[in-house]
Amino acid sequence: MRLRSRLLSLSVALGLAVTTLPGAATAQDEVTIDLWTHEFEPLQAAMLDKWIPEFEAANPGVKVNLTSIPFAGVVSYDTKLLAALSSGTGPDIWDMGDWNFPVFKENGFLAPLDPTVFGYESDEELIASYQPGSTAIIEQDGKLVGRHSEFNTLNMFYNRDLFNEVGIAEPPTDRPLSWDEVGEIGQALRLEEDGILERIGLQLGYFANFASPHWAAMHYYTFLRQHGQDDVYVDGAPAANTEAGIAALQEWADLQYEYGAYDPTFLVNWFADVPEGRAGMVLAGTWYPAAALGNVPDFDFGVVPNPVLDPDDPDTYKNVSWLWAWAVNAASSDAEKQAAQEFLAFITGKKGETEQAAYWFENLGYFQPTVDFLASDAYAAALADRPWLDLWPSAFDNYEIDVVGHAFDEPGSAIVRAIDRVIYDGQSAEDSADQLQAELERLAAAG
């Protein structure tokens, strides 16, 4: 298979310490590196409480400025990042999703990583330190232009207290539920008091308060592929109103209108709705508990495999993957690029080091697919302590997994409009798919 994710905006500058980062700065020649991330409270806390102060203490003369930007919204993280880099400025180092790498590589925004900074003798050795296939999207001309912060896929978390309250048996961990079963559970979890909606069954990652094209596309492609079609283009031609394309939109409609399990206008908080009991289930990655427990420390959750169209049909075991990776700005000065890569080596580890990857995995659920980490005692200990984490590596054995085809491009925007017509306007899946087909054909005709 091919293997190819949030607090108020904050900008923080921390103080300088006092020796030298090789090749970057002296006390007389200070270097400041600007670091951008999307908003995710555990990530900001890790940077501010641990990695930045520790790095600055070990490398006097180097200062790290952190800026965190909302992932979705009027001015989203990806939009602001692209605008800044296109103008020839932007951060020296940033974290971004795999969907940005093709465009950023094409435009020359990304500096190749120096393998010697990470303790490797060659680019080939650095790439080989990762699981096969996991670096394809972050390679350019035989070099890495990104360093994993996470590599992920979807599974389903649920609120055990709600399931017990309603009398719903806990789902199996060795077999996925069908979407119809998810709908039926969601129907049982739905709660209205005097005509006012108090609780729904399912939180998808795309909703009015978090209108992320990335999450819209991830759910759409999950449905589409489980119905037998890999992309909205087949043999290079638009194929949005096929049987599978219509069925993908119908899955959204059924969860919302037939079962009442999903409501995009009811959901308000990615990491609070399920732990606080406003919703019962959510599809997410390994990082979900770190933020959810920050909202509700005694949140009792279970985890089961990602739902499929038909649990008895292995051909419907399709899922999506994504990665986030740190990148370095090709337009930064040599000193800034050197310092940025030294910072990356500090927070992700050099050859043979696994303590950094263990920290990210244990504290944020960020999985870094290096050969050394997968063979480490820390990884084994994490799985022993939290057996549910094993659903992620096993997903890559049990499902056919790939990245989404279109999200932040024009076809991706058309997909979002098609979903919106169904979930907000109540348009039929067939009519919306026809409109999506027409939009894709116009894009193709325009070249």
Q: What is the CATH number of the domain that holds 114?
A: 3.40.190.10
What is the rounded average pLDDT of the residues 141-167? Answer: 97
User: Rounded CA gap, 281 and 301, in Å?
Assistant: 9
Pairing of strands 318-328, 147-153: antiparallel
Question: Of 286, 277, 356, which Cα lies nearest the Cα of 118?
Answer: 356
Q: Would you state the pLDDT for residue 24? A: 43
Q: Would you state the pLDDT for residue 29? A: 74
Q: Would you state the pLDDT for residue 382? A: 87
Write the pLDDT tens digit of every residue in 69-121. Answer: 998 876 789 999 999 999 999 999 999 999 999 999 999 999 999 999 999 99
Pair (171, 280) in one structural domain = yes
Pair (327, 370) in one structural domain = yes
Pair (334, 293) in one structural domain = no
- 397 domain-assigned: no
Residue 5: pLDDT over 70: no
Q: Would you state the pLDDT for residue 20? A: 40
User: Rounded CA gap, 83 and 5, in Å?
Assistant: 21
Pair (41, 76) in one structural domain = yes
- 310 domain-assigned: yes
Which one of 369, 390, 411 terminates a domain?
390
How many domains in the chain?
A: 2
Pair (147, 162) in one structural domain = no
Pair (330, 440) in one structural domain = no
- 1 domain-assigned: no
- 234 domain-assigned: yes
Pair (63, 211) in one structural domain = no
User: Rounded CA gap, 128 and 32, in Å?
Assistant: 31
HSE-CB at 326 with a 13 A cutoff on CA atoms is: 22
For residues 408 and 216, the answer to whether their CB atoms sit within 8 Å is: no
Q: Which helix (H) or strand (E) holds 276?
A: none
User: Rounded CA gap, 263 and 257, in Å?
Assistant: 9
Write the pLDDT tens digit of every residue in 115-140. Answer: 999 999 999 999 999 988 899 999 99
Query: Domain containing 103: what range?
Result: 10-152+322-390
- 2 domain-assigned: no
E strands, 9-115, are 10-13, 31-38, 62-69, 93-97
User: Rounded CA gap, 436 and 274, in Å?
Assistant: 32
Pair (409, 431) in one structural domain = yes
Pair (114, 230) in one structural domain = no
Write the pLDDT tens digit of every residue in 405-423. Answer: 999 889 999 999 999 999 9
Pair (274, 351) in one structural domain = no
- 3 domain-assigned: no
- 395 domain-assigned: no
Q: Would you state the pLDDT for residue 16? A: 28
Pair (143, 204) in one structural domain = no
- 78 domain-assigned: yes
Cβ-in-10-Å burial (0-12, 13-18, 19+) of 139 comes to middle
User: Rounded CA gap, 220 and 206, in Å?
Assistant: 10
Q: Would you state the pLDDT for residue 1? A: 36
**51-60, 75-84, 152-161: least confidently modelled range:** 75-84
Pair (300, 406) in one structural domain = yes
